[in-house]
């Protein structure tokens, strides 16, 4: 099912985008629901989708070899899962799995890149949205590392 533009309108990620640009994103997206335990993608796989999460919880993780995976960040309502699609070679740098029933707008990122190429202002605004997501993830990682260092001292 295609995403109604009103669904995209409600996501805080896109408050700085015009309704027309949010509708364009909705036009290259579809709503999907995932059960807990579903793997969305694996490190190294083709990054051809991103997910905008209105409800539920996804954990971004990193493979640790024989020790399995370690959680890097929890992603919940109003957030985006996956931004490796923006930079070639479009491969996932992390994996992600659903930890509670999740509803997401799955965005076809090849089409999203095409929209951004056709509308450079949209491309710039999307870059700012993704940079904000990256900065938030880096800050959360920094906080966890500081806490880990304090607890091991």
Q: Does a structural domain hold residue 153?
A: no
Q: Give the pLDDT score at 140.
A: 80
Q: Give the pLDDT score at 52.
A: 93
55-90 pLDDT, tens digit per residue, is 999 999 998 888 788 888 899 998 999 989 988 999
Structural domain boundaries, residue 53: 5-108+119-145
Cβ pair 52, 104 in contact under 8 A? yes
Helix (H) / strand (E) containing 120 = helix 120-152
Q: Give the pLDDT score at 12.
A: 80
Q: What is the CATH number of the domain that holds 42?
A: 2.60.120.10
Global confidence as pTM:
0.85
Q: Does a structural domain hold residue 17?
A: yes
Q: Give the pLDDT score at 1.
A: 58
Number of domains in the chain: 1
Q: Does a structural domain hold residue 58?
A: yes
Cβ pair 11, 23 in contact under 8 A? no
> CA angle 90-71-81, nearest 5°?
40
Q: Does a structural domain hold residue 87?
A: yes
Across the strands, what pairs with 20?
Answer: none
Name all contacts of 2-10 with Cβ < 8 Å and 24+ positions apart.
2/26, 2/27, 2/29, 2/30, 2/31, 3/29, 3/30, 3/31, 3/105, 7/31, 7/54, 7/105, 8/52, 8/105, 10/54
Q: Does a structural domain hold residue 151?
A: no
91 vs 82: CA distance, rounded Å: 10
Under-50 pLDDT residues of the chain: none
């Amino acid at each position: 099912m295609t995403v109604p533009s009103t669904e995209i309108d409600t996501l805080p990620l896109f408050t700085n985008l015009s309704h027309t640009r949010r509708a364009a994103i909705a036009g290259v997206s579809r709503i999907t629901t995932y059960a807990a335990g579903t793997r969305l993608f694996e490190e190294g796989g083709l990054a051809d989708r991103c997910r905008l999460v209105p409800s539920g919880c996804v954990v971004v993780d990193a493979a640790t070899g024989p020790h399995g995976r370690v959680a890097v960040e929890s992603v919940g309502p109003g957030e985006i899962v996956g931004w490796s699609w923006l930079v070639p070679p479009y491969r996932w740098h992390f994996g992600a799995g659903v930890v509670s029933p999740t509803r997401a707008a799955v965005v076809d990122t090849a089409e999203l890149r095409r929209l951004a190429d056709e509308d450079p202002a949209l491309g710039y605004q999307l870059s700012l949205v993704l940079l904000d997501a990256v900065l938030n993830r880096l800050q959360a990682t920094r906080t966890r590392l500081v806490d880990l260092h304090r607890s091991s001292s």
